Amino acid sequence: MESKIFAPLKMEISNVDLFYGKFQALKSVNMAVQQNIITALIGPSGCGKSTLLRALNRMNDLIPGVKITGKILLDQTDIYKSGMAVTELRTRVGMVFQRPNPFPLSIYDNVAYGLRVAGITGKKELNEIVEKSLVGAWLWDQVKDKLNRSALDLPLDQQQRLCVARLLTIQPEVILMDEPCSSLDPIATMKIEELMIELKKNYTIVIVTHNMQQASRVSDYTGYMLLGEMIEFNDTKTLFTRPSKQLTEDYISGKYG
């Protein structure tokens, strides 16, 4: 790996192969995720971006017939080791999905959901964490006067920020985002991008995007994937201005496909 390491490593992915049945979706993938840094994964549709992202909190475990080998470390611990507490892992490494997926509940109940599941029921404590999380997701001002209204009535970008708020309540360390802006218009996209840059002060972020401009605007490190391989992983500026591989050059200059 050519990349310069500046921040402490939060996650380390080494020689990861992943199979869906007989189909190999990840081929000896290596990647370093630095703490308080935004790492972007780019590449054409079907190249394995979502698969790699899901491997980082073992979401692929839920798909029958998946086999994974290699190593994925979170703070030096192998997350695939036997006895790993997967539910706890998913609270440390949380995910925001492509389409906002609020529950059909009120705004307040959406944000309080995970806390209640965790057994927190005190009104004062719930109120405090709900407010703090909504502030953190830049949504508090817009919703503070209508917390009992249905989350499904919010505009899409606010629904997506609500999903971020819901995640913040469980205080993850790493936030995985799979094309979080793909259903949003350009202005809403900008707000989410600004939010990501704010969030990286406290969280480590890995984002999948098919939008190269987005990767170059928000990320510090970028991985370019093709057909299950990590073709190039480098700091974002270098990858977009002086890529070391011809395949990367072809993709970022629009020559691919």
Partner whose footprint covers residue 57, from ligand ADP, Mg ion, none (CB < 5 to 8 Å by kind)? none
C-beta atoms surrounding 227 within 10 Å: 14
Closest alpha carbon to 193 in 172, 174, 173, 217: 217
Q: Which amino acid, residue 102? A: P
CB of 64 to ligand ADP, least distance (A): 9
Stretch that binds ligand ADP, among 46-54, 84-92, 100-108, 196-204 (CB under 6 A): 46-54
Tokens read off for 146: 């209508």
46 makes contact with ligand ADP (CB under 6 A): yes
Closest alpha carbon to 38 in 160, 197, 190: 197
Which is nearer to ligand ADP, 119 or 254 (by Cβ)? Answer: 254
Stretch that binds ligand ADP, among 49-57, 95-103, 132-140, 240-248 (CB under 6 A): 49-57
222 makes contact with ligand ADP (CB under 6 A): no
Total residues at interface with ligand ADP (CB under 6 A):
12
Chain centroid, CA 212 distance in Å: 16
254 conformational bin, left if phi > 0, alpha if psi -120 to 50, beta if neither: left
CB of 99 to Mg ion, least distance (A): 12
Binding site for ligand ADP (CB under 6 A): 20, 23, 25, 43, 45-51, 63
